[in-house]
């Protein structure tokens, strides 16, 4: 169907989900299935002196209680998969269950399996554990200090990694006309997809096959890691991610719980289910961010930026998580110069183990932190030289004609036109008029602020050779098969693993356009390692740019083969065949034609194929892109601050995003809204707060503020389309734009609003109390 | 999150419920809407051995006018309180506060009696009850008695309600016809509970002086409290921006102000004044 | 072991009877006993609203209600709203306006929205946002949910003029 790409098609996924016919992991019920629940550490750092599970084992309805002792020779600890080279990385795997020491509140100690979840929960209360409580290292800078509690004997100073890229001599900053030095804390946030993690495992003791249904963003990565952890060959381990209720990065990681569930199913020869409670999610599923970022930005009074030096002290939590080493280094460090032609840049990252939940990718993973520091620093720079922050951005933008552009950190931006989104956003805002209004309101004592964020992010992972060079223990290509059935109906297989993105719709649009068939004739198969030969999953805004590209190429290959068959049947050459809107026609003789469906039948029946053409009609692609893709855009936030209470109210939010080719504008806008809500959430409300003992104070939805409907105005969203040369769709990626762009846009707006009080910087989240205090301090100084 | 085991009895009358409470030796709890109790039980923070369900006792529901008071049955839901014509006519501030409790779903299940008996200091009704001189009808083994809400709240989740008694209804004083009233709430952005909730009722005499004033606050302190200092400061005064501001500065005087990681004691004190000032400006200027 | 109790309840127009532990939450009764897995559990503290169902015509959180409390009640879950080919206006609107992404919170959000529209058939944007206080959606940023609820209000207003019965759910829908 022509015009499918770029059309706001209603989602194919929805009829199932809106009628209660979704199939999430907790919906699975197998005959004889048992239910498991984990005993978790109440202490952040303690030696386990004794575990006595005898009462729990004797409790009626309990099938087994596993502790580290029972699992010692049954499974391995769960390793990370990003081993950054050249940074003295000291990876620490997640133990299956804690044996002698616990290192964060929520670490698993025992697994109770019982006939139902009620009994399992009752038995859990009967397990006795004696702890020798140790003092905890919670905050990363403190954990690095001499005398701080040590998590591991062989990791002095709790320093897990030290990554350096580039060097700039001090003189550059000493001699610069203008230097901004600031410390930004990018606070720890909790991903909180609405579906928590869950797993169901079923083992066949006869053949040794294991199936794990789990909440995964990348089932093939889960298969690769758990195969090793469980000692089951990949050929006998099947991972299925059924409907998955959001991930935001937290379901990339491989965890010990899922592997323990599988191990228990194998031991008990019964299916076992485990579903994480929300309180457990807060403690046990990876967190995001938690980076102390110190920035030195040098420039000239004419507004030109000349050098950027950044130090990131990142809290990795108690163990090295799957992508944990990569987020604050590669993902962050390569993007610190943002959308600006800053000639010199250098980054050093300290990765630190602490007695907290391990951190890993969270929607954006490093890029939001990179964007935050440069977008905040540039506002401080503009303020210092007395120039409009918009003007400073314009002066320093990488110009349109410079693409492909190699930034100072060595990565090459594929395409861009940064003035384009800025101009459009300013027009939507009516900038000059708003600045005038702001002045009038200020005169009345009202605190209105305007904040900008002109971001660029690295996504669409990516060339596999680069992944290898940076120590990622896997590939990042993508796989698709487009299989045409005799009727002309099509099954598309993809290695990406959607969990809310609407990929079944957007990929079907690509195939519908390419094959000229109705979208209803196409079904997408994904997230099952037995159906899909290989794939690397959905994260890093890679689904469309890499997975979609593979689908597009595979569909092209179908057409290529179909044309040969059509030419044969129509007694002409392939060159003479024109394929449009699902019809193969002989050029100049359009009455001689075959429909796509006719050729599908011919190919599958194989009664009369041209010489050298094999039966069936199927295209396959293993697409490994030549580069990452670099979506960009301009977000503008307008806030009003209640001077009496410090509350921040969003008045307007404008997002102009350029994500390359937009396959489905409705879905793209949905991604933008959701990302902005999370980004604004980080800016204003969200934050995992630990006390000095490593207890999570904001550990439920009662005290961790999730963005709610009433916090937002209608977001004004628009797209421009600057195509990427990296893939045949010209697509970039839209999933992480909001979390990347929004935090600095919001904070810049609040800082602008607080200008009358001389407030330069406040760390996120900008809670009312924090803003109020800043206003108070400002008043006292005046 | 699963409660401990307990046995369950559906009481057929108030008397039976009282008898069952007595028989449970302090281990039993009444179940009405369950919106305060069940969350605690799911976290196993409370583990009653018996739940005595009174949720279906229709005699504990409804609103009626009795002289200068409205009497509201303990099982009347927040939504019913919020939308009831008698409440809207005579106690608009109670209607307003009830409409701000929790969320739509919670208001459909949560009850006025359960809310008061649970005594969460950050709930919205305690301040309204104090400001409207609520009287609680409490039935026990020895019959019914009427207790003032003043002195009912002893601490967080602790009240003067005996273990074997039932709060059956609450009556609220209807303020003078010319009085204005409001409930202003600063909701915790996550929980929706009041960080501060100010209930204020005021009326002016024909000369413009304050002749009737009642202010109470919940959210900031261990228990909801009556703002005597503010009332005394304003009683009989001609309200001006100045007098209101000065009086509002006393809003935290009568409470033991608490603190947490969202709002420190200093910030809570400040919010008390800001919200009291806003409430009084609404009513008096 | 506490004595089990008999619970008879009508769910989506169908009568059910079962012996359950008194502590069984209504949401577990629906999901585990009746296999109605469209209703979800997203938190432990009655905040997220993924478990919202209708009990006697009112939207309530089924994670904060015991199954025994629903005895004798009429319960409607997402499965009782409508089915493909005969969708309830709220389902139709969530589909058309892209009011869902992962779809996990959606059943609860739709039912909470019906709860709003029953009380206020023509809500403003602000009223819709306030009414969504009892649900959390992590995917959509709520904007398309708000638009879906507005759209549903319009569809239901039309429905009402045609049938005089816009809000009936459960049987016969």
Q: Which two three-digit tokens encode residue A477? A: 């290509």
C-alpha distances out from residue A729 to A514, A543, A553, A663, C140, Å:
11, 12, 9, 9, 25
Measured CA to CA, the distance from residue A212 to residue A25 in angstroms comes to 10
Sort out which chain B residues have CB atoms less than 8 A from A278's CB and list them: 1
How many distinct structural domains can be found in chain C? 2
Q: What is the pLDDT of residue C170?
A: 43
Determine the residue of chain A that is closest to B274 in CA distance.
A644
Determine the residue of chain A that is closest to B186 in CA distance.
A645
pLDDT tens-digit map of A54-80: 999 999 999 999 999 999 999 999 999
Measured CA to CA, the distance from residue A331 to residue C51 in angstroms comes to 37
C169, pLDDT greater than 70: no
Any CB–CB contact under 8 A between B270 and chain A?
yes
Distance from CA of A52 to the nearest CA of C (A): 23
C54, pLDDT greater than 50: yes
Sort out which chain A residues have CB atoms less than 8 A from B261's CB and list them: 689, 697-698, 703
pLDDT tens-digit map of A543-591: 999 999 999 999 999 999 999 999 999 999 999 999 999 999 999 999 9
Q: Which fold has domain A15-134+194-246+251-284?
A: Aldehyde Oxidoreductase; domain 3 (3.90.1170)
- H or E stretch covering B127: helix B125-131
Q: Dihedral of CA A295/A418/A382/A343: which sign? A: positive
- H or E stretch covering B108: helix B104-109
- H or E stretch covering C150: helix C143-163
Terminal alpha carbon distance of chain C: 41
CATH 3.30.390.50 domain locations along chain B: 180-284
Taking alpha carbons only, the member of A327, A322, A323 closest to residue A186 is A327
Q: Does B4 sit within 8 Å of C49, measured CB to CB?
A: no
Any CB–CB contact under 8 A between A19 and chain C?
yes
Residue C128 lies in a domain: yes
Q: What residues make up the domain containing C16?
A: 5-41+50-80
Cα-atom radius of gyration of chain A, to the nearest Å? 27
Measured CA to CA, the distance from residue B66 to residue B58 in angstroms comes to 19
Q: B39, B76, B103, B193: which to substitute to probe chain C, counting the most C Cβ within 10 Å? A: B103
Q: How many residue contacts between B and C have a Cβ separation below 8 Å?
A: 88
Question: C-alpha dihedral over C157, C163, C167, C172, to 10 degrees?
Answer: -150
8-state DSSP, C25: B
CATH code of the domain in which C64 resides = 3.10.20.30
Q: What is the CATH number of domain B180-284?
A: 3.30.390.50
Angle between helices A431-443 and A418-429 (to 10 degrees): 50
Any CB–CB contact under 8 A between A712 and chain B?
no
pLDDT tens-digit map of C127-156: 999 999 999 999 999 999 999 999 999 999
Same domain, C21 and C67: yes
Same domain, C71 and C98: no
CA B232 remoteness from chain centre: 23
- Binned at pLDDT 50, 70 and 90, residue C168 comes out as low
Residue C171 lies in a domain: no
Q: What is the pLDDT of residue C163?
A: 59
Q: List chains adjacent to chain B, taking adjacency as at least 3 C-beta pairs closer than 8 Å.
A: A, C
Same domain, C112 and C129: yes
Q: C1, C9, C61: which to substitute to probe chain B, counting the most B Cβ within 10 Å? A: C61
Same domain, C98 and C124: yes
Domain A288-461+627-781 has CATH 3.30.365.10: yes
Q: B108, B114, B191, B192: which to substitute to probe chain C, counting the most C Cβ within 10 Å? A: B108
Q: Which two three-digit tokens encode residue C34? A: 């009746």
Main-chain phi, psi angles of A382, to 5 degrees: -60, -45
Spell out the CATH class of A477-623.
alpha beta
Cα angle at A403 between A537 and A468, to 5 degrees?
35
State the residue for tokens 């950190």. Answer: A409
Any CB–CB contact under 8 A between A419 and chain B?
no
Sort out which chain A residues have CB atoms less than 8 A from C84's CB and list them: 15, 19
Residue ranges, chain A, pLDDT below 50: none
Taking alpha carbons only, the member of A27, A8, A110, A170 closest to residue A667 is A8
Q: Does A278 sit within 8 Å of C94, measured CB to CB?
A: no
Q: Does A701 sit within 8 Å of C47, measured CB to CB?
A: yes
CATH 3.30.365.10 domain locations along chain A: 288-461+627-781, 477-623
Asked if omega into C78 is within 30° of 0 (cis), the reply is no
Q: C101, C112, C142, C173: which to substitute to probe chain A, counting the most A Cβ within 10 Å? A: C101
Q: What is the pLDDT of residue A414?
A: 97
Three-state DSSP class for residue A363: coil
C172, pLDDT greater than 80: no
CATH 3.30.43.10 domain locations along chain B: 7-53
Q: List chains adjacent to chain A, taking adjacency as at least 3 C-beta pairs closer than 8 Å.
A: B, C
Largest Cα–Cα distance in chain C? 54
Q: What is the pLDDT of residue C1?
A: 58
Among B2, B189, B271, whose Cβ lies nearest the Cβ of A117? B2
- Binned at pLDDT 50, 70 and 90, residue C2 comes out as confident
pLDDT tens-digit map of A711-733: 999 999 999 999 999 999 999 99
Sort out which chain B residues have CB atoms less than 8 A from C105's CB and list them: none
Residue ranges, chain B, pLDDT below 50: none
* pTM beyond 0.80: yes
Spell out the CATH class of B58-173.
alpha beta
Determine the residue of chain A that is closest to B265 in CA distance.
A769
Same domain, C76 and C93: no
**Pairing of β C5-11 and β C74-76:** parallel
Main-chain phi, psi angles of A348, to 5 degrees: -130, 135
Any CB–CB contact under 8 A between A243 and chain C?
yes
Residue C168 lies in a domain: no
Determine the residue of chain B that is closest to C4 in CA distance.
B7
Q: What is the pLDDT of residue A391?
A: 98
Are C43 and A701 in contact, with CB atoms under 8 Å apart?
A: yes
Any CB–CB contact under 8 A between C58 and chain B?
yes
CATH code of the domain in which C111 resides = 1.10.150.120
Any CB–CB contact under 8 A between A133 and chain B?
no
**Pairing of β A34-40 and β A272-275:** parallel
Determine the residue of chain C that is closest to A20 in CA distance.
C38
Are A456 and A631 in contact, with CB atoms under 8 Å apart?
A: yes
Taking alpha carbons only, the member of A199, A253, A263, A258 closest to residue A231 is A263
Measured CA to CA, the distance from residue C131 to residue A369 in angstroms comes to 34
State the burial class of residue A624 (Cβ atoms within 10 Å of its Cβ: 0-12, 13-18, 19+): middle
Among A19, A196, A715, whose Cβ lies nearest the Cβ of C143? A715
CA C129 remoteness from chain centre: 17
Distance from CA of A369 to the nearest CA of B (A): 24
Same domain, C117 and C156: yes
Taking alpha carbons only, the member of C62, C72, C161 closest to residue C115 is C62
C-alpha distances out from residue A158 to A100, A695, B182, Å:
19, 19, 55
Domain spanning B7-53, CATH architecture: 2-Layer Sandwich (3.30)
Cα-atom radius of gyration of chain B, to the nearest Å? 19
Instruction: List the 65-84 stretch of C: residues with Cβ below 8 A of B.
Output: 65-66, 68-69
Measured CA to CA, the distance from residue A60 to residue A456 in angstroms comes to 58
Instruction: List the 89-118 stretch of A: residues with Cβ below 8 A of B.
Output: 117-118
């Amino acid at each position: 169907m022509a015009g499918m790409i770029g059309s706001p098609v209603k989602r194919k996924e929805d009829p199932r989900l809106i009628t209660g016919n979704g199939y999430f992991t907790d919906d699975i019920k197998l005959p004889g299935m048992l239910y498991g629940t984990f005993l978790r550490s109440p202490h952040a750092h303690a030696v386990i002196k004794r575990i006595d599970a005898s009462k729990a084992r004797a409790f009626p309805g309990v099938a087994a209680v596993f502790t580290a002792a029972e699992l010692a020779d049954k499974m391995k600890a769960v390793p990370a998969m990003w081993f950054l080279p050249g940074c003295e990385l000291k990876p620490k795997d997640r133990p299956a269950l804690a044996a002698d020491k616990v290192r964060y509140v929520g670490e698993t100690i025992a697994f109770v399996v019982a006939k139902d979840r009620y009994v399992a929960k009752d038995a859990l209360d009967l397990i006795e554990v004696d702890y020798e409580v140790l003092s905890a290292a919670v905050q990363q800078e403190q954990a690095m200090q001499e005398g701080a509690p040590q998590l591991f004997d062989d990791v002095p100073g709790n320093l897990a990694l030290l990554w350096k890229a580039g060097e700039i001599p001090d003189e550059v900053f000493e001699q610069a006309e203008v230097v901004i030095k600031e410390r930004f804390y990018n606070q720890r946030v909790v991903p909180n997809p609405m579906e928590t993690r869950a797993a169901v495992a079923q083992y066949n003791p006869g053949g040794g096959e294991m199936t794990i249904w789990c909440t995964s963003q990348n089932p093939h990565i889960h298969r690769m890691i758990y195969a090793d952890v469980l000692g089951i060959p990949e050929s006998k381990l099947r991972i299925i991610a059924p409907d998955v209720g959001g991930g935001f990065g937290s379901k990339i990681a491989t965890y010990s719980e899922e592997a323990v569930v599988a191990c228990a199913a194998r031991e008990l020869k019964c299916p076992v289910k485990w579903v994480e409670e929300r309180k457990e999610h807060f403690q046990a599923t990876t967190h995001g961010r938690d980076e102390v970022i110190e920035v030195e930005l040098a420039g000239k009074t004419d507004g030109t930026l000349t050098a950027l030096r950044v130090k990131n002290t990142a809290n990795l939590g108690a163990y090295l998580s799957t992508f944990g080493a990569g987020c604050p280094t590669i993902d962050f460090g390569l993007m610190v110069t943002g959308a600006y032609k800053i000639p010199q840049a250098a980054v050093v990252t300290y990765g630190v183990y602490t007695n907290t939940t391990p951190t890993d990718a969270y929607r954006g993973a490093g890029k939001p932190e990179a964007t935050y520091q440069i977008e905040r620093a540039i506002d401080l720079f503009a303020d210092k030289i007395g120039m409009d922050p918009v003007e400073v951005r314009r002066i320093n933008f990488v110009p349109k004609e410079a693409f492909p552009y190699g930034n100072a950190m060595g990565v090459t931006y594929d395409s861009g036109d940064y003035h384009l989104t800025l101009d459009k956003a300013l027009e939507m805002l009516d900038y000059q008029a708003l600045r005038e209004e702001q002045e009038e309101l200020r005169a009345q004592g009202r605190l209105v602020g305007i904040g900008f964020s002109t971001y660029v992010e690295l996504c669409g992972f990516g060339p596999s050779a680069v992944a290898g060079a940076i120590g990622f223990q896997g590939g990042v290509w993508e796989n698709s098969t487009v299989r045409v059935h005799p009727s002309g109906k099509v099954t598309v297989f993809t290695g990406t693993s959607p969990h809310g993105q609407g990929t079944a719709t957007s990929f079907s649009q690509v195939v519908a356009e390419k094959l000229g068939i109705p979208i209803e004739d196409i079904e997408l198969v994904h997230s099952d390692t037995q159906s899909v030969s290989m794939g690397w999953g959905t994260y890093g805004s890679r689904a469309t740019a890499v997975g979609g590209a593979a689908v597009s190429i595979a569909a092209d290959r179908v057409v290529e083969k179909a044309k040969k068959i059509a030419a044969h049947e129509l007694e002409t050459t392939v060159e003479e065949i024109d394929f449009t809107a699902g019809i193969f026609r002989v050029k100049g003789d359009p009455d001689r034609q075959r429909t796509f469906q006719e050729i599908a039948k011919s190919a599958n029946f194989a009664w009369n194929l041209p010489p050298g053409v094999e039966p069936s009609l199927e295209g396959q692609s293993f697409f490994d892109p030549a580069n990452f893709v670099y979506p960009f855009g301009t977000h503008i936030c307008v806030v009003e601050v209640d001077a009496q209470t410090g509350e921040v109210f969003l008045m307007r939010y404008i997002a102009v995003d350029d994500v390359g080719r937009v396959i489905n504008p409705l879905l793209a806008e949905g991604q933008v809204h959701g990302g902005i809500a999370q980004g604004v959430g980080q800016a204003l409300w969200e934050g995992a707060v630990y006390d000095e003992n490593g207890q999570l104070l904001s550990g439920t939805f009662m005290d961790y503020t999730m963005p709610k409907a009433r916090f937002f105005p209608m977001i004004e969203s628009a797209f421009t389309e600057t195509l990427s040369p990296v893939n045949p769709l010209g697509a970039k990626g839209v999933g992480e734009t909001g979390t990347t762009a929004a935090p600095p846009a919001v904070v810049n707006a609040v800082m602008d609003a607080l200008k009358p009080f001389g407030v330069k910087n406040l760390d996120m989240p900008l809670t009312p109390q924090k803003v109020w205090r800043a206003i108070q301090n400002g008043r006292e100084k005046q | 999150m699963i409660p401990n085991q307990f046995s369950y009895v559906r009481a057929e009358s108030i008397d039976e419920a009282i008898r069952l409470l007595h028989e449970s030796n302090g281990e039993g709890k009444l179940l009405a809407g369950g919106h305060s109790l069940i969350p605690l039980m799911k976290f196993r923070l409370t583990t009653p051995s018996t739940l005595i369900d009174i949720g279906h006792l229709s005699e504990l529901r409804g609103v009626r006018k009795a002289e200068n008071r409205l009497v509201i049955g303990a099982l009347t839901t927040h939504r019913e309180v919020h939308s009831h014509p008698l409440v809207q006519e005579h106690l608009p501030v109670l209607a307003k506060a009830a409409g701000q409790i929790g969320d739509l779903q919670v208001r459909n299940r949560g009850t006025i009696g359960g809310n008061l008996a649970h005594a969460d200091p950050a709930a919205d009704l305690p301040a309204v009850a104090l400001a409207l001189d609520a009287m609680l009808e409490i039935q026990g083994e020895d019959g019914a008695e009427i207790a003032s809400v003043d002195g009912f709240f002893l601490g967080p989740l602790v009240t003067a309600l005996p273990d074997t008694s039932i709060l059956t209804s609450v009556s609220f004083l209807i303020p003078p016809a010319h009085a204005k009233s409001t409930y202003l709430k600063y909701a915790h952005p996550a929980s929706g509970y009041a960080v501060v909730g100010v209930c204020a009722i005021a009326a002016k005499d024909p000369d413009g002086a304050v002749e009737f004033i009642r202010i109470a606050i919940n959210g900031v302190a261990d228990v909801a409290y009556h703002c005597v200092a503010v009332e005394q400061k304003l009683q009989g005064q001609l309200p001006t921006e100045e007098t209101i501001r000065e009086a509002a500065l006393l809003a935290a005087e009568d409470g033991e102000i608490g603190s947490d990681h969202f709002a420190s004691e200093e910030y809570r004190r400040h919010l008390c004044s800001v919200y009291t000032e806003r409430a009084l400006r609404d009513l008096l200027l | 072991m506490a004595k089990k109790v008999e619970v008879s309840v009508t769910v989506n127009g169908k009568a059910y009877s079962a012996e359950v532990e008194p502590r069984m939450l209504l949401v577990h009764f629906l999901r585990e006993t009746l296999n109605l897995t469209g209703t979800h559990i997203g938190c432990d503290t009655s905040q997220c609203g993924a478990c919202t169902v209708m009990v006697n015509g009112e939207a309530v959180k089924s994670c904060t209600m015991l199954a025994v409390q629903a005895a004798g009640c009429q319960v409607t879950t997402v499965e009782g709203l409508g089915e493909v080919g005969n969708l309830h206006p709220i389902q139709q609107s969530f589909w058309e306006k892209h009011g869902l992404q992962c779809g996990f919170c959606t059943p609860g959000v739709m039912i909470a929205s019906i709860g709003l529209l029953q009380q206020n058939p023509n809500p403003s944007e602000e009223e819709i946002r306030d009414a969504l206080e009892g649900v959390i959606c992590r995917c959509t940023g709520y904007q398309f949910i708000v638009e879906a609820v507005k759209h549903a209000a319009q569809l239901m207003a039309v429905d009402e003029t045609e049938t005089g019965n816009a809000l009936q759910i459960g049987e016969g829908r």
